Amino acid sequence: MRIRTLGLLFSLLASAAGPPLAAAQAAGERTGWYVVRPGDSIIGITRTFLGSSDRWLENWQLNPEVKDPNRIAPGQRLRILLGDDLPQRSARVATLSRKVEENPAPLDWADASRDDLLLRRDGVRTQTASSVELELTGGNRMTITENSLVYLKDARPAPVPVDRQAIEIVKGQADLEAEAGTSRPDDVEIIVAGSVAKPRSTAERPVQARARRPDQGGAQFMVYRGDSAVESAGKTVEVAQGMGTTVPSGGAPNPPEALLAAPPALSPEAGARLAVEAPTLAWEAVTGAIHYTVEVCRDPRCGELVQRVVAVQNSPWKASPIAPGKYFWRATAVSASGLDGYPGEPRSLEILDAMADVEPPTVSLRGQGRSLARGEVVHLGPGAKLEIEARDAASGIARREVTLDGRSVAPGVLEGPWESGKHELTFDVVDGAGNRSPRRTATFVYDPDPPTVSWQPVAPGWRGKGAMTTKAWPSGKAAAADVPLEWSGAGWGWQDLDRTWRADGPMEQLLLRA
């Protein structure tokens, strides 16, 4: 009888506190959503995420639909208070995009939601063009890309016990990242097809690594910041920053190789507002790349994936139609071994209504290097090149169409060199909305041959274009003679590039390069 009385009094106190008190206590505190498993209680759940059960009453008050804290059903979703850090072997869904599912073991798979909480043995899987970013223990974050399956696991036994979280990638790819000073060394180990990677960070040095299980089997590990040990088949290799390794199925890790550089974005410009639903994206080629992966995301970390295409052979690439909104995009070069290089710096763009752009791009042609205009004709010397400058703030530039001497050519032909002589260039530019600039024709002369130079004595005191008297020379017998010299040749537009004196026995010579 005494026990029942105390229980009733406790229930009355909890009821008196009510949800308003819980909301006030939870203000400014982090919360997450937990899926109840068989055998769970609010007291036990509180202990799991806060380290003690002291605040179980507040967790109960956060869920007014729960009438009895001792009677919660598997599959029920509860709002739970969180501490500053998550407990080991747990995760929180920070962001997600499109179709992402979670497996709160031993329950069935279900759609995941932002702020969902996962525990050891739980799984996450993503569908095509979907992604999820997980917050892990110690400030670590993991971004799981499309068509992936990942589980939270127990770390392998070690000679010295270490409180470490393990992530197993059964299918697909995941990125691990932690800023300097937020994570602890050896917080996480990544398991892929029997291979184990242990990324390392310190208070001064962050970590950023990628792990993937390719469709053909084996494992791939890439380290962008920090370093990592990779172990498989009884062998361990150290992978330094900027390096990666591949692991064949059941075999030892291959020697690390350098990762490719990040491809710089070319167009559209950062912050571009494009009136086109399918933008064309361009980047600089990277030496050693066999193809590229291009991603369009709602956030710069690509935790909210919109489009992802692998094995893009060359730049530029046209995206599939995208709904109006703000996005980020990046390209990543892939080496012959299948390792990803450094991802390109995310570049922002905004997609507007495609009907808003009806104006063609503005276009101009200019020479770079040794070039000189003579009327409507551009003269180009060795090493010079032509550039079609095109701008379209609304939709960006989709492509350049170039014809040289009546033949359709790739825009790269503008880099030169060409056959010596006169050429006719025709070009136009199309923007992302399909608007075409007026077709333009230009004539240029490629002159890779040096001029011929001759010296002619002329009458004393003669002054003229392309002439120089000996009075302009340094002092000497030649100056006293006051004999002007003139240089001439088949060229025009002389450029006096260099005057150099050279002693040649008793003679002084003027060396003139034109």
Q: Which of 196, 230, 258 is the last residue of a domain?
A: 258
Q: Which of 429, 446, 463 is the last residue before a domain boundary? A: 446
Q: Kindly state whether residues 308 and 374 are assigned to the same domain.
A: no
Query: In the listed set 356, 378, 405, which residue is the last one of a domain according to the structure?
Result: 356
Domain membership of residue 76 (yes or no) is no
What's residue 111's pLDDT?
A: 95
Same domain, 370 and 441: yes
- H helices of 27-150, in order, are 42-50, 56-61
Tally of domains in the chain: 5
503 is a domain residue: yes
169: CB partners within 8 A, 6+ apart: 148, 149, 150, 190, 191, 192, 211, 212, 213
Q: Same structural domain for residues 464 and 411?
A: no
Do 292 and 150 lie in a common domain? Answer: no
Do 238 and 328 fall into the same domain? no
The whole-angstrom separation of Cα 16 and Cα 183 is 41
Query: Do residues 103 and 210 both lie within one domain?
Result: yes
Residue 66 covered by a domain: yes
| Backbone φ, ψ for residue 239 (5° rounding) | -110, 110
CATH number assigned to the domain comprising residue 323: 2.60.40.10
CA–CA gap between residue 422 and residue 448 (Å, rounded): 12
In a domain, 281, yes or no: yes
- Cross-strand bridge partners of residue 200: 227
At a CB cut-off of 8 Å and minimum separation 6, what does 426 contact? 402, 403, 404, 439, 440, 441, 442
Same domain, residue pair 193 and 104: yes
Classify residue 80: in a domain, yes or no. Answer: no
Spell out the per-residue pLDDT of the chain, length 514, in tens.
444 443 444 444 444 444 444 454 555 789 999 999 999 999 999 999 999 999 999 999 999 999 988 899 999 999 999 998 898 889 999 999 999 999 999 999 999 999 999 999 999 999 999 999 999 988 789 999 999 999 998 766 554 444 567 899 999 999 998 776 554 545 688 999 999 999 887 667 788 999 999 999 999 999 999 999 999 999 999 999 999 999 999 999 999 999 999 999 998 888 888 888 888 999 999 999 999 999 999 999 888 999 999 999 999 999 999 999 999 999 999 999 999 999 999 999 999 876 667 788 899 888 888 888 888 888 888 999 888 898 887 777 878 899 999 999 888 888 889 999 999 999 999 887 778 899 999 999 998 887 665 555 544 554 444 444 443 444 333 444 444 444 444 444 555 444 444 444 444 444 444 4
CA dihedral 127, 132, 136, 142 (to 10 degrees): 90
Q: Check residue 157 and give its pLDDT.
A: 53
State the CATH number of the domain containing residue 166: 2.60.120.1440
CA distance 336 to 291: 9
Same domain, 344 and 473: no
Identify whether 184 is part of a domain. yes
On whether both 140 and 251 belong to a single domain, the answer is: yes
Encoding tokens for residue 126?
Answer: 């993503």
Pair (219, 100) in one structural domain: yes
Tell me the residue range of the domain where 470 lies. 454-513
The answer as to whether 35 is a domain residue is: no
Residue 303 pLDDT: 87
pLDDT of residue 481: 44
For the chain, helix, strand, coil in percent to 5 are 10, 45, 45
306 contacts 272 by C-beta, under 8 angstroms: no
Whether residues 235 and 116 share a domain: the answer is yes
d(CA 103, CA 35): 10
CATH code of residue 371: 2.60.40
Beta strands (DSSP E) in 26-89 are: 31-35, 77-81
- Whether 78 is in a domain gets the answer no
Same domain, 331 and 367: no
